[in-house]
Structure 1
Amino acid sequence: MTALTPRQQYRAAWAADRRANASYPKSKFILRWFRSAHRWRAERGPLARIVFLVVGGSYKLVTEGFMGIELPASTEVGPGLRLRHGVGIVVNPASRIGANVMIRQGVTLGNRKLPDDCPTIEDDVEIGVGAVIIGSVTVGTGARIGPNAVVFRDVPPGAIVASPASEIRT
């Protein structure tokens, strides 16, 4: 089986993002730019490097500098990411985000001790407003993280993390 090219990956991910954010034009705008920067970062050759510098640099400047969204182009993100109200989102580049994940405003996915000590968010996870997920933890498929929850240990698939006490219910 042949691996997808960066262009094919971009097209598939962008189509899923577009469907997932149908009613959110700002989210579609940001994610298309993110996917484009991610695509050119993965391409090889001098032209690709130049295009990445332009696309990736402008993406970083506008989203981080003016929109308050830190979602680095180097972050591994599955298709169908849903951004809701995309303000104050901070994602460490070493974090991994699965498919069909919803991230609301004020969410932080970060490291705890080492630069690559970051969370893995599996598919179909919803992360509430102001939630903080730190350290090398895995948030299982279909889990829901409540608003303002602080998560620093693994969350099983399908669990609900309530706030503010990080209580895990299965």
Structure 2
Amino acid sequence: MSYLFQDWAVNKGNLKGRLVMVLFRLAHPASFNKFFRILWLPYLMFYKLLVEWFMCIELPHWTTVGKNFYLGHGHALVVNGCSVIGENCFFRHSTTLGNVRKEDGSYSGSPIIGNNVELGSNVCIIGEVRIGNNVRIGAGSVVVKDIPDNSVAVGNPARVIKTLAPLHQERQQEPQLSS
């Protein structure tokens, strides 16, 4: 339940993002318990109708999403339910996290997104791909291979164009203000 308040705070000024995350966090517990899922079925139907059909955000209630998830604009977001999204992530509109249909008709695994990841608009991450921590992916990128920690990736297919200093080093390098 604490994630609900953290999502609320991080989506300040973003009414749609706040609404979707509140509805998602209230629906998410139904993915853990079959009895609760049956009891919660009317709410899950409401969630699917409002969030997916009217708000055009496909974020299944069983998806694993870390705290402080920010939905920038939040339109046309499609997330495969088996995807895993880390903490402090920022997704912009028209983002897709999906799997790949193989020749034999089976599907690949779903993307795993690390912590502190920012995705530009129209980013597609497809297949059993791992996105590291502290990664930025530019608008319109198509990611089909793993992206290492502390990277900036762009393009179709996405490629790493820059390596960032780890977050804890950046904080240490910030100038200290003297009083």
Q: Where on the TM-score scale, by shorter chain, does this alignment land: which range?
A: 0.7 to 0.9
Contact 1:130 1:148 in 2 (8 A): yes
Larger displacement relative to structure 2 (80-89 or 34-43)? 34-43
Alignment of 1:61-76 (within 5 A): 61-76=49-64
Q: Which amino acid aligns with 2:126?
A: I
CA distance in 2, matches of 1:55, 1:42: 15
Q: CA RMSD in A?
A: 1.4
Give the unaligned 5+ runs of structure 2. 164-179
Give the unaligned 5+ runs of structure 1. 1-10
**Post-superposition offset of 1:162:** 1.5
Q: Which amino acid aligns with 1:42?
A: F
Cα shift readout 1:129-157 (whole Å, capped 9, x = no counterpart):
00000111110001001000000000011
CA distance in 2, matches of 1:41, 1:165: 34
SS in 1 for 2:4: helix
**Are residues 44 and 167 of structure 1, via their aligned partners in 2, closer, same or farther at CA, if it must alter by over 3 Å?**
closer
Alignment of 1:1-170 (within 5 A): 11-43=1-33, 45=35, 48-113=36-101, 114-115=106-107, 117-169=109-161, 170=163
**Post-superposition offset of 1:42:** 2.4
CA distance in 1, matches of 2:28, 2:87: 16
CA distance in 1, matches of 2:66, 2:108: 19
Larger displacement relative to structure 2 (48-57 or 93-102)? 48-57
Q: Could you say which structure has the larger radius of gyration?
A: 2
CA distance in 1, matches of 2:147, 2:134: 10
SS in 1 for 2:20: helix
Q: TM-score, normalised by structure 2?
A: 0.83
What percentage of aligned pairs have identical amino acids?
35
